[in-house]
């Protein structure tokens, strides 16, 4: 199942206000509900996945949403809870994807060309915006620090939402964020001194 991003349900003033309608529609099996939920969160989820350096960010993102949609009956809560729930699923899918990539032999670059042929120009451009310099800087962080920075700064999640998404206490998220920002400042400062 692959989502095309069509939005048939009119969005309310905020995703939080429209969320109950989207969720009810998706639970009823209506494509419009699934599309509205996907359209709302997939761009920030995709940025999170790209920041983790996954080969096929679109596939991981879609896989996570399909898994979430299959388990909609188990979800309980509002829009913020749903966002955290999706991030937890995505994080698990990233772990699975990383394990699979470690077991898979490296193939020629034709795999990248094939995946670009199926992606839209907009998707490719958005992925490249986030990859460049930001990826280099994020690579200097631990996985846990990177997850927190992408959730908090890139995607604008609250401390509580981030804690739910990365399955750590809020105090741990605060420490990880502080250490990550400190590391990024040092890296940038060192580069400025070197140049």
Q: What torsion, rounded to 10 degrees, do the Cα atoms 43, 124, 72, 153 define? A: -30
d(CA 162, CA 149): 9
> Which helix or strand (DSSP H or E) is residue 148 part of?
helix 143-149
Q: How far apart are CA 135 and CA 124, in angstroms?
A: 15
- Number of other residues whose CB lies within 10 A of the CB of residue 169: 10
CA distance 162 to 170: 8
What pLDDT score does 56 carry? Answer: 81
The per-residue pLDDT for 25 is: 92
- Predicted confidence at residue 27, as pLDDT, reads 92
pLDDT the model gives residue 75: 92
Q: What pLDDT is stored for residue 82 in this prediction?
A: 92
| The two three-digit tokens of residue 5, written as one number | 């991003």
Cβ distance 176 to 168 under 8 Å?
yes
Q: Which residues contact 108 (CB under 8 A, 6 or more apart)?
A: none
- Taking each continuous run of H as one helix and of E as one strand, the counts in the chain are 9, 0
Give the whole-angstrom CA distance, residue 180 versus residue 144: 9
pLDDT of residue 114: 45
**Mean pLDDT per 10-residue run, the chain (195 residues)?**
48 72 92 91 88 81 90 91 90 78 55 47 49 73 88 84 88 91 82 70
Q: Which domains does the chain have, with CATH numbers?
A: 1-131 (no CATH), 140-195 (1.10.10.10)
Q: What pLDDT is attached to residue 7?
A: 47
């Amino acid at each position: 199942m692959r989502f095309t991003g069509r939005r048939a349900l009119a969005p309310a003033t905020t995703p939080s206000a429209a969320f109950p309608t989207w969720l009810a529609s998706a639970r009823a099996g209506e494509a419009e509900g699934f599309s509205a939920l996907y359209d709302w969160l997939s761009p920030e989820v995709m940025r999170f996945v790209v920041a983790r350096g996954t080969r096929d960010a679109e596939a991981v993102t879609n896989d996570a949403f399909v898994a979430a949609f299959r388990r909609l009956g188990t979800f309980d809560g509002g829009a913020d809870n749903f966002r955290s729930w999706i991030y937890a699923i995505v994080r698990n899918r990233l772990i699975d994807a990383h394990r699979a990539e470690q077991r898979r032999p490296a193939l020629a670059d034709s795999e990248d060309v094939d995946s670009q042929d199926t992606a839209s120009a907009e998707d490719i451009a958005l992925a490249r915006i986030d990859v460049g310099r930001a990826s280099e800087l994020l690579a200097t962080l631990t996985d846990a620090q990177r997850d927190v920075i992408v959730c908090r700064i890139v995607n604008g999640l609250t401390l509580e939402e981030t804690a739910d998404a990365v399955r750590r206490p809020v105090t741990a998220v605060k420490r990880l964020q502080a250490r990550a920002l400190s590391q990024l400042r040092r890296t940038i400062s060192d580069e400025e001194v070197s140049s």
